[in-house]
Structure 1
């Protein structure tokens, strides 16, 4: 009897000690351990892997990005995610967009292709091209057939017409010309087979009304309706387009009109009228010939 009572007491004491051990309040260390085992990403997923300082999550075939602390960077709704020139390129249903490293959407996922071009993003949609800056600002609308870097600006082509825009989308030359080409520090433009000259800043120097333009000794030599003229490099008229031929000769202009020759100085002032058969230089003076007779003009 006595032994039974002792066994009962010992059993009670043992069980009470065990219960007390399991009801001890959490210590600070225990609380810390429990925090470390809390769920970081608030949903289950099919696959996870480290991806450029974050977690690339795959769930039901869709991908997203979460930070190591569980902060959502990119929602889990894309078919592809990849690093792209300092940003994240996302793809969904064949369309592409961009997020920055903080998870801010900078280009909507609506483009057929996105390329990195000269520090900007070339966006393509329905075979048309535009330009977005690194912050996502669209500076050139997605309505051009082609966009290429042209010196420090962009050359645009749309339906056979060309223009030039700055890198920030400001119009330098409107997209209405058939051809644009560099020409002695300026641009030569062609429109309906007529040529003109613009500066690199888009200022019109000569309108597109000339059949041909050449450049010599800092002057533009122009052809209009088969007549020749001369303008300076700022577009100021020196000699009107009314001569059959113009030659730059010893710092002056020899003019030919109806097979007769004359002379103008650099500023277009007429020195010798167009009534001579020949004009030559002799000992730093001009010799004009008419019907076999010679007249001396001092230079």
Structure 2
């Protein structure tokens, strides 16, 4: 007989608040010792989710915890039990969110909630967003929006401006910027009045907000633009290549630079690899790049050596150790 009762209980848990064979049942929960934790008084029950279960009584729904306590009375038309919160609602009423925290259901109701990490829940109240941490501490809702959360930090919006807060709500980057990119490898880029700078995770400005292009750090360096000139900064904000080139871009692990309409190559310390004398330097393939000088094409390697003197009418990228070239005949 005991085995039959257990099977029926499992059926109810899986299928919701169903009755069977026109008989009336009442439901509850027992623990592994056989002790009845939730008394068999409910018309329907659902499985526990993160310490709480939905129960039904007289057509209304509520919630019990694992001690059997009815933490939400059966007064709601609908209760939805999610891993990090519970949504309660009545007919023609918007759902309200109650946040779970370490097996405790917080009593304050919010208009919306979303998970930012296993430890942090974002909550919305009166059109403002805040945070609740894993132990139930609330960081008062004051932000207009939470954009994203990653690596312990969240981008927030306030009065049309953006900043970054950490997981305890401390403003690491104040919300005064036009755009903010969340921390990546310890650094966050900010934009204000079309100028760019960089913060570290301690909230220190490591690159002043004065440069004309966004930062893209690779191997701890970034190309920057200031007053129509280009240079290179390291991730401490130090200018390791002076900002005096007309153009600059990464070409494999070198930097292609432009001076007076001619192109050359430097390394990331500013050391010259190829002087700025070519009309074209194409992307390196197989460690070799096509170059153009005085209207003719040839090849250079990454040490700056002209492995093929520019003398061809056309040259194509190296592939499988060979590069196609073209000459004109019949003249």
Give CA-to-partner distance per residue, 1:104-138, whole Å, 9 cap, x none: 541412x2233444324332334443332344322
Q: Does residue 1:232 correspond to 2:237, yes or no? A: no
Q: Is the 8 A contact 2:60 2:75 kept in 1?
A: yes
Say if 1:154 and 1:255 are closer, same or farther in 2 by CA, change over 3 A. Answer: same
- 1:48 and 2:43 aligned: yes
Alpha-carbon separation, structure 1, partners of 2:98 and 2:73: 13
What per-residue deviation string (whole Å, max 9, x for no partner) do you get for residues 211-232 of structure 1? 1256577544432223445433
**1:64: how far off?**
3.8
Q: Is 2:175 aligned against 1:175?
A: yes
**Conservation of the 8 A alpha-carbon contact between 1:88 and 1:101:** no
What's the offset of the Cα at 1:99?
A: 6.5
Compared CA separation, residues 225 and 63, structure 1 to 2 (3 A): same
Aligned residues: 231
Q: Which ranges in structure 1 are unaligned for 5 or more consecutive residues?
A: 1-39, 270-276, 279-283, 285-299
* Distance of 1:219 and 1:266 partners within structure 2: 7
CA distance in 1, matches of 2:100, 2:183: 41
Report the equivalent of 1:85.
83
TM-score where L is the length of structure 2: 0.49
Deviates more, 1:64-73 or 1:152-161: 64-73
How far, CA to CA, are the matches of 1:104 and 1:164 in structure 2? 29
Say if 1:105 and 1:244 are closer, same or farther in 2 by CA, change over 3 A: closer
State the partner residue of 1:73. Answer: 71
Aligned-pair CA distance for 1:58: 3.7
Specify the structure having the higher radius of gyration (Cα). 1
Name the counterpart of 1:125. 125
Query: 2 CA distance for matches of 1:131 and 1:161?
Result: 19
Deviations 1:133-163 (A, max 9, x none): 3443223625222432234432223444222
Please tell me whether residue 94 in structure 1 is matched to residue 94 in structure 2: yes
The alignment yields a C-alpha RMSD, in angstroms, of 5.2
* Aligned pairs for 1:157-236 within 5 A: 157-181=157-181, 185=185, 186-212=187-213, 218-236=220-238
Change (3 A) 1:75 1:183: closer
2-side partners of 1:145 and 1:218: how far apart? 31
Offset of 1:192 from its aligned partner? 0.8
The 1:209/1:82 distance shift into structure 2, 3 A limit, reads: same
Give per-residue Cα distances to partners, 1:177-236, cap 9 Å, x unaligned. 222337984332211100112234543211111112565775444322234454333112
1:55 and 1:266 map into 2 onto residues whose CA distance is 61
Q: Is the 8 A contact 1:145 1:159 kept in 2?
A: no
Judging changes above 3 Å, is the alpha-carbon distance between structure 1 residues 201 and 84 closer, same or farther for their aligned structure 2 residues?
A: same
Which one has the bigger helix percentage? 1
Contact 1:57-1:66 at 8 Å conserved across structures: no
Normalised to the residue count of structure 1, the TM-score between the two structures is 0.53
- Tell me: CA distance 1:131–1:266, structure 2 relative to 1, closer, same or farther (3 Å): closer
> Quick check: 1:113 aligned with 2:112?
yes
User: Given the superposition, is the C-alpha separation of residues 255 and 70 from structure 1 closer, same or farther in structure 2, using an over 3 Å criterion?
Assistant: closer
Contact map agreement 2:61 2:74 (CA 8 A) in 1: yes
Whole-angstrom CA distance in 2 between matches of 1:232 and 1:102:
43
Q: 1:101 to 1:113 in 2, by over 3 A?
A: closer
Instruction: Write the deviation string for residues 164-188 of structure 1: whole angstroms up to 9, x where unpaired.
Output: 2223323232222222337984332
Tell me the distance in 2 between the aligned counterparts of 1:228 and 1:191.
19
